[in-house]
Every structure is written in C-alpha cells, then in structure tokens.
Amino acid sequence: MGCCCDKNCKESKKLTSKELIEMEHHYGAHNYHPLEVVISRAEGVWVWDPEGKKYLDCLSAYSAVNQGHRHPVIIKALKDQADVLTLTSRAFFNDQWPVFAKRLCEYTGKDMVLPMNTGAEAVETAIKLARRWGYEIKKVEKDKAEIIVMRENFHGRTTTIVGFSTDPDAYNNYGPFTPGFVHVDYNDTAAVEKAITKNTVAVLVEPIQGEAGVFVPNDGYLKKLREICTKNNVLLVADEVQTGFGRTGKKFCFMHDDIEPDIIIMGKALGGGVFPVSAVAANKGIMGVFTPGSHGSTFGGNPLGCAVALAALKVLDDEKLADRSAEMGAYFMAKLNELKAKSKKIKQVRGKGLLIGVVMDKDILSAAGEKARKYTTALKERGVLAKETHDWIIRFAPPLVITKADIDWAMGIISEVLG
C-alpha cells in the first residue's frame, strides 16, 4: 500500500509549469513575486523546469547553495542520518550536535556556538545575547539597552527585525515595534561613534548589504567599527548569513578587513542547500550569559541538521570553495565590467567573490518605462536565473562550484540582454 499522498505526488509530476504557477497563485499567500519559472530538478549549478528546459542558477537560493545543488557528500550525509535519527529536541543529548558544535567552533575560532534553524532566528538569538550581555556584564540599566543598526539593512522577517528595517515593504503595517534600536547610515563610522551612549550594547552590521543591492562598504569599514566597539566596550555583531561560507572569497566576509567580531551570525549555506541550519558563535565571556531555560529551539541542534552541516563544512574545506569564489568572482566581475564599458544601461558592477550586483542606470531605464525585472525576465527566457533587487539592480550569486566555461556561457546571454 502506497503512502496517502501517492496520488498527489504522481499528479504533481504531470503538471506543467503554467499549471503549477496558477496553482500557487490560487492557494499560496502572495508574499513573493517570483520569476515565472518552475524548478523541478537541480544538480550543481544547473536547474531544470518540468518541461525539461535547463537554466544556470545565478542566485543560489540567496546564497544558501554555495556548495552547489544536491552535492553528493551532503546528500549522502542527509540520507545516512535520516536512516538512524532525525530529532530528539534539546531535552536530551544526541550524538551529532556535540560533534557539530566542536567543528563550528574550530571553523569560526570562537569558544561556543548556539544552534538555530533559520537566519532570522540566528539574528534574534544574537540580539537577545547582546542585550543579556549588556545587562549582566556591562551593567546597562534594565530595559535601556540599545543596539546600533544600519539603514537599508536586511536581517530577516520577524517582527522585531522588521521593526528596525528602513524598507517600507518589510515593516509597513506590522507595528508596534520593539524599541531599543538606533539607526545610522551604512558605511559611516563617524555616525556610529556619535550614536554610542552608555546604553549601547552592540553594533549589528552586514559586511556587505546584500538585499540593499550588494552595497560594498569602503575598505577598512569593519576595521574601524572594530576599533570603535573595542574602545567603547560595545559588541561588534557580524551578520554573515548571506556573506559567509566562502560567498565573498573568504570563509567569512569580515576577514577581508582582518578583524574578529564578538558575535558571528550564520545560516543559509551552513545547511548545504538541503536543510535549514543556523547558528551564533561567540566566546564564553559573552555566550556564557545564556542559562538553561533562557533561550531555545525544538529543532535547533537536531541530529539531521547537524549531520548535514558537518558535511556542508567538509565540502567547503575539501573543495577550497572560498578560494574558488575569489577566483571565479574576479573572472565574472571582469567580464561584467567589460560589458559595462560597452553598455550605457549598466552604471556600476560591484561585489566581492561571487556576490555581485549589476546596477542599472535608473534614468535610462525610467525614460524607457523599464525596471530591472524586464531584464531578469529576459535572462530567464534565455536560460540564466538571476533576481532583481530595489528595481534597478540585478544580483548574480551562482553556486561557488561554477566554472569559467559556465561563466562564459552565461556572459553570452547577459551581453545579449544587457548590452
């Protein structure tokens, strides 16, 4: 006897892309505006739709698939672990979480890690950690703690997090919001220094603002933030959910400025593109403020996720994917800059490693009644999947296993569409 969903499973395989899109529009909440392509199979840097058309993935599920789709080492770890143990909750010990905790501490250089599931959960964990440290270690007056955040930030979608977003799409009609966050401009260290008070417990920053359009700060920005935080006894919190695990050509993006944050927030590629795994890392003097019952997650540290994350880290190391990202990213950006020199539509190419933003000329597009969506749709039609952000920017972030041949193939299409 088959499973109760056999009929539905078989029916889904027969549905066309058009039928699946219409079904989602009918039954699914409309909180996304995807490109009109249905992905039904994937391997490495390539994906296929139900009709068999092949596409080059240049988004990597927003940098969650750094190791490539369905990497065999990661898939084997998933299957092997699923055969023996998937979930215990933290009410009991399991045999995977301690091993993963040790490995992630070695990877980050921190004393302790706390596991969660999604990037937003990891950011929430870091906020709670910074505040608790502020009250118990720094001795900030109760309920007065402040965290400095950057305008145009993106740290997730929880109520607290969207409350300190400056994007109306993220926060509109979700208030009232959690107090205690102070906004300054990104890439402005003087503004950070000016905003610090006796109640400041942390500065929360993305090393590169991804959702804002791959906004890369000036060289030395993080180094100066580190100096300011150290001088004022304030925690520097690096949100590496999107920029971590080789995406920008280093294990973590903060390494480009040769600094060490007090708290590292991780997610996305930590799960190898097959399972949601996130974590926060810090030294004992900070992480030690958490006590039994003060924070938790039913699925955080689950054996299946830990086994997958261990395999994901192994692939990153064994295949030297951070180095590969640096090499392929430089190659890709050079090609895009060659195109920029020929195309009036491209205003700027920016990024690090394989996190790249192509900024379109807003005036030229506006005069023609166009936005970047027209171009990502055209790319999709020709077999390259990328995504627009803020109407004028196209983000290219393929899996780190991409080759020069793949990039050359993509550039033929990108040149045709953007040239």
Say if residue 2's pLDDT is above 90: no
Between 372-381 and 404-418, two packed helices, what is the crossing angle to 10 degrees? 130
Residue with tokens 């709670």: 128
Structural tokens at position 311: 């395999």
Asked whether 401 and 272 are in contact (CB, 8 A), the reply is no
pLDDT for 14 equals 86
Distance of CA 417 to the CA centre of its chain: 27
Give residue-wise pLDDT tens across range 124-134: 999 999 999 99
The whole-number pLDDT of residue 8 equals 58
The percentage of the chain sitting over the pLDDT mark of 90, rounded to a whole number, equals 96
The position carrying tokens 């993305």 is 206
Whether the full predicted model's pTM is greater than 0.75, yes or no, is yes
Locate tokens 């023996």: which residue?
84
Q: Average pLDDT, stretch 302-330?
A: 98
Mean pLDDT of 211-240: 98
- pLDDT at position 419: 87
**Check: CATH 3.40.50.300 for 30-67+322-418?**
no
Residue 205 φ/ψ region, left for φ over 0, alpha for ψ in the -120 to 50 degree band, beta for the rest: beta
User: Mean of the pLDDT values across residues 192-207?
Assistant: 98
pLDDT of residue 396: 98
Asked if pLDDT for residue 251 goes beyond 80, the answer is yes
The H or E element spanning position 327 is: helix 321-340
Q: Which fold has domain 72-318?
A: Aspartate Aminotransferase; domain 2 (3.40.640)
Q: Which two tokens stand for residue 15?
A: 């549905």
Distance CA(76)–CA(69), nearest Å, equals 13
Quote the pLDDT of residue 79: 98
Q: What is the pLDDT of residues 38-53, one digit of tens each?
A: 999 999 999 999 999 9
CA distance 4 to 234: 55
CB atoms within 10 A of CB 94: 19
Whether residue 367 has pLDDT greater than 80 = yes
CB 42 within 8 A of CB 48: yes
Least confident range from 2-16, 104-118, 171-185, 274-288: namely: 2-16
Contact between 242 and 62 (Cβ < 8 Å): yes
Q: What percent of the chain has pLDDT over 70?
A: 97
Q: Where are the domains of the chain?
A: 30-67+322-418, 72-318
Catalytic residues: 154, 239, 268
Cβ contact 183:164 at 8 Å: yes
Phi and psi at residue 166, to the nearest 5°: -110, 10
**Mean pLDDT of all residues in 202-230:** 97
Residue 11 has pLDDT above 60, yes or no: no
User: What is the spatial distance between Cα 94 and Cα 3, in angstroms, rounded to a whole number?
Assistant: 29
Segment (H or E) for 192: helix 189-195
Tell which residue, 381, 372, 411, has the closest CA to residue 33: 372
User: What is the arithmetic mean of pLDDT over 200-219?
Assistant: 97
Edge to edge, what strands does the sheet with 384-385 contain? 41-43, 46-48, 54-57, 384-385
Report, as an integer, the average pLDDT of 74-100: 98
Locus of tokens 């890690």 = 113
> What mean pLDDT value characterizes the chain?
96
Rounded-to-integer distance, Cα 111 and Cα 362, Å: 47
Across 312-329, average pLDDT: 98
**Residue 10: what pLDDT?**
55
Q: Does the pLDDT of residue 1 top 60, yes or no?
A: no
Q: What's the pLDDT at 12?
A: 53
